[in-house]
Amino acid sequence: MIKKISILALAALFLTSCDDFLQREPLSFGDREAYFTSPEDFALSVNKFYEMLPQNNALWGGLYSADVVSDNQAAAGAQSLFYPGEKKTPAKGASEWQFTNLRGINFFISSAEEAVATGHAQGAEAELNHYIGEGYFFRAYDMYRLLTNFGDAPIITEMLPDDQAVLTEASKRYPRNEVARHILADLDKAASLMKDAAPEAGRVYRDVALAFKARVALYEATWEKYHAGTCFVPGNSKWVGAATWPGFAWKPVRRRLKSISFLTGLWRPRKRLPLSTRSTTTTLACSTIGQALSDQPTR
């Protein structure tokens, strides 16, 4: 009997010790509370999103081949894209209807901002803010991918729970002009947080956000101008989102046109520059470019 009790006691001791040993925080990474404590943590977290940027491939593909499917560049062979019946809906895995990166970016932004607000993250404020600004830049970049591929698209700015009703509501596609305005707002936020110079080679910084803002604005304003009255632009019966947004209407808003000088980094009213200055200064209209920026929808 004493022998049995000793064996049971010994087994209980080993099981208790084993349980205590296994109940540990991850040693290699840590959880959300153990991470996001320094600018270095922020930088490592946002590094993953740099994989979203376009890259040139050694043999074929990348930036130099992107215009082959347009009328700006001719390839050695004809593109099947231009043959009737050849434009097919891709399989889900090959589609641009992807939100994995967007979810990761929203997780980073919310975690980093919370860490700064609560004092959990320690370090120079400018350093912490810069990497949060990078997060806003990449969210705008990924939303621009959705805009150029689908026009109307969901606007997702937070981590979503695993709830079917919530996910269904969040998947509703917003009018493309609202998507564009959300992208521009994120780029404004990014520009306000990022440094004037990159903290290290290869990272985005303030002028990158402003240059991309000009590109987004020009793209959307041009699209809405030349596709007005079609199914691709809100505000008419042909628009594919008319049933979802039956009360949509354009509401003009007057704004003063401004331009940005990427050499000085200062906003100033748009004016004609002397020839000597125009040859060395790049100015890009970054607001109120057409209907996309000057109109507000009501619904």
**Chain segment 57-80, per-residue pLDDT in tens:** 766 667 777 777 777 777 777 777
Percent of all residues in the chain with a pLDDT value above 90, rounded to a whole number:
51
pLDDT in tens, 111-127: 999 999 999 999 999 99
Burial of 43 (0-12, 13-18, 19+ CB in 10 A): middle
Q: Could you tell me if 106 and 139 are in contact, meaning their C-beta atoms sit under 8 angstroms apart?
A: yes
Q: What is the pTM of this model?
A: 0.75
**251 token code pair:** 């509401």
Residue 166's contacts (CB-CB under 8 Å, 6 or more residues apart) are 160
**β pairing state of 267-269 and 283-285:** unpaired
pLDDT of res. 248:
87
With 50 as the cut, is the pLDDT of residue 108 above it?
Answer: yes
Per-residue pLDDT band for 132 (boundaries 50, 70, 90) equals very high
Identify residue 122 by its one-letter amino acid code.
Q
Average pLDDT over residues 135-150: 96
Backbone angles phi, psi at 279, to 5 degrees: -75, -15
Provide the strand spans (E) within the chain: 249-252, 258-261, 267-269, 283-285, 295-298
What secondary structure does DSSP assign to 131-162, as a single string? HHHHHHHHHHHHHHHHHHHHSSB----SPPPS
pLDDT in tens, 3-53: 555 565 555 555 555 555 666 665 555 566 678 999 999 999 999 999 999
**Residue among 63, 215, 214, 81 nearest 148 (CA):** 215
pLDDT in tens, 239-294: 999 988 988 887 655 554 454 443 334 344 444 444 343 333 333 333 333 333 43
Q: Could you tell me if 136 and 184 are in contact, meaning their C-beta atoms sit under 8 angstroms apart?
A: no
Give the gyration radius of the chain's Cα atoms.
Answer: 25
pLDDT in tens, 204-244: 999 999 999 999 999 999 999 999 999 999 988 899 999 88
